[in-house]
């Protein structure tokens, strides 16, 4: 048996060296390439033709439709849009600020909750119960409700020392809800790290905490980066919900402008500003997911 | 003669109603290798996991350098510092380079500086011909290379005792040899070892004592020569016959 193995190996070696010599494509291969090139050219032509026909028809139908004039006047009054743009951008800076602060807090709280839920220490049992209840409750309530409860409910308590600032309360509501989502994503990541990795680390003498820090978490975070980026995109959009408390963010600014003129272009401008941030981030997320899948496949082959 | 590195008496281990190990008693003197052979499920891996405190025991005593490690108040991290373990599935850390894999425990557990740990890692990598892989990630290495790195990772801690759990079972026959020659080198250096293996030829080369394990009990034990060439117990004879038919001898 071992002799056939060796035979196969040396055979492979010969073939490899034959390949490494200068190689000219055979006549057959050259003719195949010509056919493939022709096929490619034809496919490109078909794709261009089909795109022009379909999109051209749609645009023609839209532009020539009887309502097109009032549609553009109501939603795409660009001159008015440019006029209110500075106010909306100023409002959007609130969304950006809120996103930065909230995502930082969410990362910290989400991690604490995830670590608590995955811990096994008997002393932490009450915290495990609390963390589980927290996640169950705040993943199950619409975020708008949490914003209303925190934003209007807390000032109603009239506790001195507690803030009435709607921006802070709104951020707190976003953090409360998103921590529950992110904790679950992190927890699933921690659970996907194979127990044998833990065993290997522990048998090297690493403590429970060192194992978590150097072996489990780095692998877990790598795996959950794509879903976390998805959550970040959602978070950016959902910061707009705090406008219901009267925070002057991009949406609120657009609302004020549009209620003055009965024209909806400010909303479209706000939408465009959100898209300018969310589309690149979504593309980046897609690329990260694709890369991590490619890496996993490569590992499978090796 | 000095005290044995490992001394086990009347070890018993069960998972629920299933008794996995019973009446296990043996000792491993310093600089010797004890090899456990036996079919899959005979309890070899569980025995090694018990010695490493990855599994708890039901009864009996395990002593390392005279210290009872089955004492429930013992610090398991302290015990594991004296032990190295290599697994069937390598279990390298995929997010670290080869060198990082080797230096993690010396830096974090033994408090070596980064330079000292790197020097120790490079010395070992050089010695076992893996220096050019030092900055690669485990998934770029062949199975044999990964397992040799796993061995280096565990001996970088200079353990008193090395536990090797079927370290060639996940490798194809061509790669088995490079791993086994690494283990032979360690044996010649005087490393004290306990191995579980299916490689009888290899067992014959490195073992000072061979134990045949069946259904959680040591059925027969003796020198490598005697156990593999002239086994006495019918169960050992049957097992070796099956191994022989499978072409592993």
Cα distances (angstroms) measured from residue A181 to each of A142, A146, A188: 12, 14, 11
A210, B109: Cβ pair inside 8 Å?
yes
What residue in A sits closest to B157 (Cα-Cα)? A204
Q: Which of A136, A47, A63, A85 is nearest to A273 (CA)?
A: A85
Is B87 touching A (CB cutoff 8 A)?
A: yes
* Chain-chain contact of A203 with B81 (C-beta, under 8 angstroms): no
Report phi then psi at B42, rounded to 5: -80, -10
For residues A123-145, b (16+ Cβ closer than 10 Å) or e, as one string? Answer: eeeebbeebeebbeebeeeebee
What are the C-alpha distances in Å from A185 to residues A41, A125, A236, A286, B182? 46, 21, 18, 17, 42
Over residues B17-30, the pLDDT tens digits come to 888 999 999 999 99
Chain B: closest CA distance from residue A286 (Å)? 22
Domain, as residue range, for A284: 79-290
**Three-class DSSP category at B131:** helix
A176 lies in some domain: yes
Q: Do residues B92 and B104 lie in contact, with contact meaning Cβ atoms separated by under 8 Å?
A: no
- Indicate if the pLDDT at residue A8 is higher than 50: no
Chain B residues inside the 8 Å CB shell of A201: 93
User: Coil, helix or strand for B59?
Assistant: strand
pLDDT tens readout for residues A257-294 = 998 888 899 999 999 999 999 999 999 988 888 887 77
Residue A296 above 70 pLDDT?
A: no
For range A131-144, the mean pLDDT? 95
Asked whether residue A66 is assigned to any structural domain, the reply reads no
* Cβ-contact B201, B249 below 8 angstroms: yes
- Residue A299: the pLDDT is 53
- pLDDT score of A165: 87
Q: Which residues of A touch B (CB under 8 A)?
A: 1-2, 5, 9, 196-197, 199-207, 210, 214-215, 218-219, 222, 298-299, 302
Chain B residue with the nearest C-alpha to that of A201:
B105
Rounded percentage of chain B residues whose pLDDT exceeds 70 = 98
> pLDDT for A187-243, tens place per residue?
999 999 999 999 999 999 998 899 999 999 999 998 899 899 999 999 999 999 999
**Which residue is associated with the tokens 């909806």?**
A264
3-state secondary structure chain A: CHHHHHHHHHHHHHHHHHHHCCCCCCHHHHHHHHHHHHHHHHHHHHHHHHHHHHHHHHHHHHHHCCCHHHHHHHHCCHHHHHHHHHHHHHHHHHHHHHHHHHHHHHHHHHHHHHHHHHCCCHHHHHHHHHHHHHHHHHHHCCHHHHHHHHHHHHHHHCCCCCCCCHHHHHHHHHHHHHHHHHHHHHHHHHHHCCHHHHHHHHHCCCCHHHHHHHHHHHHHHHHHHHHHHHHHHHHHHHHHHHHHHCCCCHHHHHHHHHHHHCCCHHHHHHHHHHHHHHHHHHHHHHHHHHHHHHHHHHHHHC
Determine contact: B89 vs chain A, CB below 8 A: yes
User: Residue B1: which pLDDT band, with cuts at 50, 70 and 90?
Assistant: low
Q: Is the Cα torsion angle A7, A10, A14, A19 positive or negative in sign?
A: positive
For chain A, say whether B153 makes contact (Cβ under 8 Å).
yes
> Which of A203, A207, A211, A223 to probe by mutation at the B interface, max B CB count within 10 Å?
A203
Helices and strands (H and E) in chain B: how many: 9, 10
For the stretch B237-247, pLDDT in tens is 999 888 888 76
Would the CB atoms of A214 and B154 count as touching at under 8 Å? no
Interface touch B109/A206, C-beta < 8 Å: yes
Answer whether residue A153 is part of any domain.
yes
For residue range A168-178, what is the model confidence (pLDDT) as tens digits? 999 999 999 99
Spatial distance between the Cα atoms of B216 and B57, rounded to a whole number of angstroms: 13
Q: What is the pLDDT of residues B61-93, one digit of tens each?
A: 999 998 999 988 888 888 888 999 999 888 999
Sheet holding B193-196, edge to edge: B83-86, B161-165, B193-196, B33-37, B209-214, B217-222
Which chain A residues are closer than 8 Å to B95 by Cβ?
Answer: 218-219, 222
Phi then psi for residue A241, to 5 deg, are -65, -25
Report how many domains make up chain A. Answer: 1
**CB spacing of B95 vs A196 below 8 angstroms:** no
CATH number, position A220: 1.10.3720.10
Does A31 map to a domain?
Answer: no
Mapped onto helix, strand or coil, the DSSP state of residue B246 is coil
DSSP state of B58: S
Among the partner residues A1, A206, A219, nearest to B95 by beta-carbon distance: A219
* Mean local confidence (pLDDT), A124-148: 95
> Would residue A146 count as lying in a domain?
yes
Q: Tell which of B106, B108, B141, B143 to mutate to test the A interface (max A CBs under 10 Å).
A: B108
A70 in any annotated domain = no
What angle, 0 to 180 degrees and rounded to 10, lies between the N-to-C axes of helices A78-118 and A250-261? 150
Contact criterion met (CB < 8 Å) for A199 and B77: no
CA distance A158 to A164: 9
Q: Check if B80 contacts A (Cβ < 8 Å).
A: yes
Return the number of other C-beta atoms located less than 10 Å from residue A234's C-beta.
Answer: 14
Whether A18 shows a pLDDT value over 70: the answer reads no
Q: Which two tokens stand for residue A27?
A: 């006549």
Q: How many other CB atoms sit within 10 Å of the CB of residue A90?
A: 13
Of A1, A205, A219, which is closest to B77 when you measure between CB atoms?
A205
Question: A190 with A220: CB under 8 angstroms?
Answer: yes
- Count CB-CB contacts under 10 A for residue B234: 10
Give the Å distances, CA to CA, from B130 to A287, B111, B135: 34, 25, 10
pLDDT, tens digit (0-9, with 9 covering 90-100), for B134-147: 999 998 999 899 99
In chain B, which residues have their Cβ closer than 8 Å to the Cβ of A218?
Answer: 95
**Which residues of chain B lie closer than 8 angstroms to A210, CB-CB?**
108-109
Strand ranges of the sheet holding B6-15, from the earlier edge strand across to the other edge: B18-28, B6-15, B59-64, B67-68
With CB atoms and an 8 Å threshold, state whether A200 touches B93: yes
User: Confidence band (pLDDT; 50, 70, 90) for A163?
Assistant: confident
pLDDT level of residue A6 (50, 70, 90 thresholds): very low
Please say if the pLDDT value at position A14 is more than 50: no
B111-132 burial, b at 16+ Cβ within 10 Å, e below that, comes to ebeeeebbebbeebbeebebbe
Is B246's Cβ below 8 Å from some Cβ in A?
no
Instruction: Name the residue ranges covered by the structural domains of chain B.
Output: 1-82+161-249, 94-158
Q: What is the pLDDT of residue B170?
A: 82
Q: Please name the residue of chain A whose CA is at the shortest distance from the CA of residue B87.
A: A200
Residue of A nearest to B143 (CA): A302
Distance CA A14, CA B214 (A): 46
The mean of the pLDDT values for chain B is 90
Element (H, E) at B184: helix B173-189
Residue B111 forms contact with A (CB below 8 Å): no
Straight-line distance from the first to the last Cα atom of chain A, in angstroms, rounded to the nearest whole number? 25
Domain membership of residue A87 (yes or no) is yes
- Chain B residues in contact with A215 by the CB 8 A cut-off are 93
Rg (CA), chain B: 18
Both tokens of residue A155? 């000032």
Contacts of A5 in chain B (CB under 8 A): 173-174
Of B84, B94, B174, nearest to A5 by CB-CB distance is: B174
At B241, which helix (H) or strand (E)? helix B234-245
Q: Write out chain A residues lying below 8 Å of B139, CB-based.
A: 298-299, 302
- Using a CB-CB cut-off of 8 Å, the residues of chain B touching A2 are 173
What fold does the segment set B1-82+161-249 form as a domain? Rossmann fold (3.40.50)
* 3-state SS class at B18: strand
pLDDT per position as a tens digit, A20-75: 678 888 999 999 999 999 999 999 999 999 999 999 999 999 988 888 888 888 88
Q: Which residues of A touch B105 (CB under 8 A)?
A: 204-206
Parallel, antiparallel or unpaired: strands B193-196 and B161-165: parallel
Nearest CA in chain B to A295: B139
Q: Which residues of A touch B84 (CB under 8 A)?
A: 203
Residue among A197, A205, A298 minimizing CB distance to B80: A205
pLDDT in tens, B179-228: 888 999 999 999 999 999 888 888 888 899 999 999 899 999 999 888 88
pLDDT at A97 over 70: yes
- Reply yes or no on whether the pLDDT at A1 is more than 70: no
**Predicted confidence (pLDDT) at residue B112 exceeds the cutoff of 60:** yes
* Contacting residues of B for A301, CB less than 8 Å apart: none
């Amino acid at each position: 048996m071992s002799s056939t193995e060796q035979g196969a190996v040396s055979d492979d070696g010969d073939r490899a060296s034959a390949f490494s010599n200068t190689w000219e494509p055979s006549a057959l291969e050259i003719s195949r390439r010509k056919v493939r090139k022709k096929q490619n050219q034809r496919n490109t032509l078909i794709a261009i033709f089909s795109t022009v026909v379909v999109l051209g028809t749609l645009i023609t139908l839209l532009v020539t439709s009887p309502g097109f004039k009032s549609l553009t006047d109501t939603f795409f009054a660009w001159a008015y849009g440019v006029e209110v743009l500075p106010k909306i951008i100023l409002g959007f800076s609130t969304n950006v600020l809120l996103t930065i602060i909230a995502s930082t807090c969410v990362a910290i709280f989400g991690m604490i909750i995830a670590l608590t839920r995955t811990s096994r220490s008997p002393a932490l049992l009450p915290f495990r119960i609390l963390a589980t209840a927290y996640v169950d409750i705040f993943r199950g309530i619409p975020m708008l409700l949490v914003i209303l409860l925190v934003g209007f409910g807390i000032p109603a308590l009239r506790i001195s020392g507690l803030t009435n600032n709607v921006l802070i309360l709104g951020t707190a509501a976003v953090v409360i809800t998103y921590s529950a989502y992110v904790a679950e994503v992190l927890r699933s990541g921690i659970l996907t790290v194979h127990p044998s990795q833990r065993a290997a680390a522990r048998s090297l003498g690493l403590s429970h905490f060192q194992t978590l820090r150097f072996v489990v978490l780095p692998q877990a975070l790598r795996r959950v980066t794509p879903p976390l980026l998805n959550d970040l995109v959602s978070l950016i959009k959902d910061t707009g919900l705090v406008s219901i408390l009267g925070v002057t963010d991009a949406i609120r600014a657009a609302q004020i402008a549009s209620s003055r003129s009965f024209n909806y272009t400010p909303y479209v401008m706000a939408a465009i500003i959100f898209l300018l941030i969310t589309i690149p981030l979504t593309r980046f997320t897609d690329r990260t997911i694709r890369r991590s899948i490619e890496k996993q496949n490569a590992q499978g082959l090796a | 003669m000095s005290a044995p590195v490992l001394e086990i008496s009347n070890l018993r281990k069960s998972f629920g109603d299933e008794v996995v190990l019973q009446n296990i008693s043996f000792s491993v003197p310093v600089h010797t290798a004890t090899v456990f052979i036996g079919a899959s499920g005979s309890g070899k891996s569980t025995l090694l996991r018990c010695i490493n405190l990855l599994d708890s025991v039901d009864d009996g005593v395990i002593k390392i350098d005279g210290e009872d490690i089955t004492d429930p108040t013992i610090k398991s991290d302290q015990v594991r510092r004296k032990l190295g373990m290599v697994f069937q599935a390598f279990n390298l850390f995929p997010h670290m380079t080869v060198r990082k894999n080797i230096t993690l425990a010396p830096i974090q557990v033994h408090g070596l500086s980064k330079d000292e740990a790197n020097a120790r890692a490079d010395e070992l990598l050089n010695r076992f011909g893996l220096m050019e892989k030092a900055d690669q990630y485990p998934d770029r290495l062949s199975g044999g290379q990964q397992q040799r790195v796993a061995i280096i990772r565990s001996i970088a801690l200079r353990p008193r005792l090395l536990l090797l759990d079927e370290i060639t079972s996940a490798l194809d026959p061509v790669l088995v040899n490079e791993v086994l020659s690494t283990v032979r080198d360690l044996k010649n250096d005087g490393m004290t070892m306990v191995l579980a293996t299916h490689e009888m030829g290899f067992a014959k080369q490195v073992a000072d004592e061979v134990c045949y394990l069946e259904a959680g009990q040591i059925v027969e034990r003796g020198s490598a020569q005697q156990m593999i060439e002239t086994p006495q117990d019918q169960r050992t004879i049957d097992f070796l016959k099956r191994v022989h038919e499978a072409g592993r001898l």
